[in-house]
Amino acid sequence: MGLATVYSRAQNGLQADLVTVEVHLAPGLPQLAIVGLPEAAVRESRDRVRAAIVNSGYQFPNRRITVNLAPADLPKEGGRFDLPIALGILAASEQIPNAQLSTLEVLGELSLTGEVRAIRGALTAALKCATSGRRLVLPAANAAEAQLARSVEIIVANRLSELCGALHAGTLPTKLAAPPNAVPDAALELADVRGQYQPKRALEIAAAGQHSLLMMGPPGSGKSMLAARLPGLLPPMTEAEAVEVAAVASIGSGGFDPQHWGQRPYRAPHHTASGVALVGGGANPRPGEITLAHRGVLFLDELPEFDRTVLEVLREPLESGQITISRAARQVDFPARFQLIAAMNPCPCGYLGDSGERCRCTPDQVARYRSKISGPLLDRIDLQVFVPRVDPDALGRSENRADGRAADSSAQVRERVGAARARQLTRADKPNALLTVKEVERDCVADSDAQALLRLAMARMGLSARAYHRVLKVARTIADLARLDAIGSAHVAEAIRYRQLEASSKSGAG
C-alpha cells in the first residue's frame, strides 16, 4: 500500500502533544527523508532506524521513503520517534500488519540492534494518552513510571522484533495502569536531632502553614539535618499532587523513580549551582531545582554564597508558584510551588554568638556578609530562627523539653501539622503562607492587645508592610496549631520573635 500512519507524542515542558508520523514509500532512488525534525536529530534517527530494522530480521525497503512528523513546529527530541518511524516503515512496506496501528500511541528510542530504549517524559505522555482512548506502546524501562497515570493501557516493548511478532500474532499483551501505594520516607526522624527545641518549633510552624524559613547558626549546629526532616512533617500529597511531582521528575534529567511515588521532593542544590540548574532552561527547556522541588522543599544552605542575581529570580516563583522560561522561539511554564528553607552562618567565620567566643569578625564584615541577601528576599521569608550549636555535655538536659516530655517524633509533629493545615484549607482553601493581603485582612484578625503589641514591635524593629502581613500569617498558623480561631497576643509575640534576625541585620550586626 505504500502508506502508513503511527501516532506518537512530543515533549514540551509538561505538555505532551500528539504527533502524527506518516510514512510514504514511492518508487525512485532509494533514500530516507525525515521531515519535521531538526537536522541533527534526523541524521541520528535515520541511522538507528535503518540498523534496528535490518538487525531485527526485516528488510529495509529499497524505495524512496518519506517520513513526515506533524505538526512540524513542535519541538522534538529525535530519539523518542525511532520506534514509531520504524513501525511506520515496516507497515508501509507490508512487513507487519497495518490494522492495529491506529489504536496505538508509540514512543521509544532504538538501539542499532533493535532494543527499545527509555525516553524522558513517559508519564506526561501516558497522562495524555489516557484521555485519547488509544493504548500506549513504550519502553520497558518507562513502564513503571507510566503506570502512575491511571486507566491507560500499556504495551511494554523490549525489542523491535518482539513487538512486530506480537503485531503479527494480533496479541498485544496490555496491562492496565494503577499507581502503587505511597510509602512515606521513614529514614529521616525528627527525634534523631538532639536538643534544638526552638528551631524544631519553627520547623513545625513552617510545616503547618507552608511558611518559608531561614535558619542562622554556626557550622555543625544541625541546620541541614533539620531541613532534611521537613518533608517528613508535611501532610501527605493528594494523588493529583503526587502525579504532578512524578511528571516533573519524569522530564528532569534524573527521571522519576517510582520508589519515590507519593513522597514530597527535597532538593538541596549547592551554592555554586548555575542559574539554569536552579531555575531551569536550555534549548529544549528542562526544569531546574525550583521545579524539581515542586510540592516539596528547596533547601539553600549557605544562602549568602549563592549568586545574588540567581537569588533575585526566586522572588517571582515564591509569589506565583511557577516560573516562565523564555527561549528565542518559545516559552515554557513550569510549576514551582516549593517551600523555601534557607540556612546561613551568622558571620563570615561562622561563630558569631557562639559560646566558644572564637569569632573575630568586625561589625563591618558581619554587615557586609549579611547584606549579600537582599532586603526584598529576606522580606519574603516568613520565619527566621537562630540555631545554636548544641553543647554535647548539656545534651542530657536539653534532650527533654522544658515541660519534661521527651522530644516529639516526626509522626507526632505530622499529626499536629495535619490538623492545623486542615483548619486552613477549610477556612481559605490554601495554606496560610499563600494568603493574599485581602485574605490576611479577612482571616488573620488579631485581638486588640495583640494588635497593639504588633504596632509597637513594627515601629521598634522598623519592619516593612510586607513583613507586617507575614507576622500576621505566622501568628495565624501558631493559633491554628493551638486549635484556636482567635489570634491572641501570645501568638503575635511568638511570630514577632521569628523576625528578629532581620531586625538585627538592619542594625548592622548580631
Footprint of Zn ion (CB under 5 A): 347, 349, 352, 359, 361
CA pair distance 383, 376, nearest whole angstrom: 14
Which residue lies nearer to Zn ion by CB, 31 or 362? 362
Torsions phi, psi for 211 (to 5 deg): -85, 150
CA pair distance 398, 392, nearest whole angstrom: 10
For residue 509, the minimal CB distance to Zn ion (Å) is 10
Amino acid at 403: D
For residue 188, the minimal CB distance to Zn ion (Å) is 30
Q: What is the grid cell recorded at 231? A: 518533608
Which residue lies nearer to Zn ion by CB, 52 or 359? 359
| Ramachandran area for residue 317 (φ above 0: left; ψ -120 to 50: alpha; else beta) | alpha
Which residue lies nearer to Zn ion by CB, 170 or 356? 356
Among candidate residues 256, 257, 213, 255, the one with its CA nearest the CA of residue 234:
213
Q: What is the grid cell recorded at 451? A: 494588635
For residue 77, the minimal CB distance to Zn ion (Å) is 49
Amino acid at 227: A
Torsions phi, psi for 263 (to 5 deg): -95, 135
CA pair distance 340, 318, nearest whole angstrom: 8
For residue 372, the minimal CB distance to Zn ion (Å) is 15
For residue 329, the minimal CB distance to Zn ion (Å) is 49
CA pair distance 122, 16, nearest whole angstrom: 9
CA pair distance 503, 495, nearest whole angstrom: 13
Which residue lies nearer to Zn ion by CB, 154 or 359? 359
For residue 386, the minimal CB distance to Zn ion (Å) is 14
Q: What is the grid cell recorded at 237? A: 500529597
For residue 312, the minimal CB distance to Zn ion (Å) is 26
For residue 365, the minimal CB distance to Zn ion (Å) is 7
Which residue lies nearer to Zn ion by CB, 353 or 418? 353
Is there a contact between 352 and 361 (Cβ–Cβ < 8 Å)? yes
CA pair distance 155, 278, nearest whole angstrom: 36
Is there a contact between 145 and 125 (Cβ–Cβ < 8 Å)? no
Among candidate residues 214, 233, 390, the one with its CA nearest the CA of residue 299:
214
Which residue lies nearer to Zn ion by CB, 79 or 218? 218
Which residue lies nearer to Zn ion by CB, 334 or 351? 351
CA distances in angstroms from 153 to 85, 103, 147, 173, 331, listed in the order given: 21, 11, 9, 10, 32
Which residue lies nearer to Zn ion by CB, 251 or 347? 347
For residue 83, the minimal CB distance to Zn ion (Å) is 60
Query: What angle is formed at CA 319 by the lines to CA 316 and CA 325, rounded to 5 degrees?
Result: 35
The neighbouring-strand residues paired with 408 are none
Which residue lies nearer to Zn ion by CB, 252 or 388? 388
Neighbours of 97 (CB within 10 A): 14
CA pair distance 448, 355, nearest whole angstrom: 39
- Residue carrying the nine cell digits 534544638: 196
Which residue lies nearer to Zn ion by CB, 166 or 367? 367
For residue 216, the minimal CB distance to Zn ion (Å) is 12
Q: What is the grid cell recorded at 254? A: 534524573
Which residue lies nearer to Zn ion by CB, 172 or 367? 367
For residue 347, the minimal CB distance to Zn ion (Å) is 3
Among candidate residues 351, 375, 349, 384, the one with its CA nearest the CA of residue 501:
384
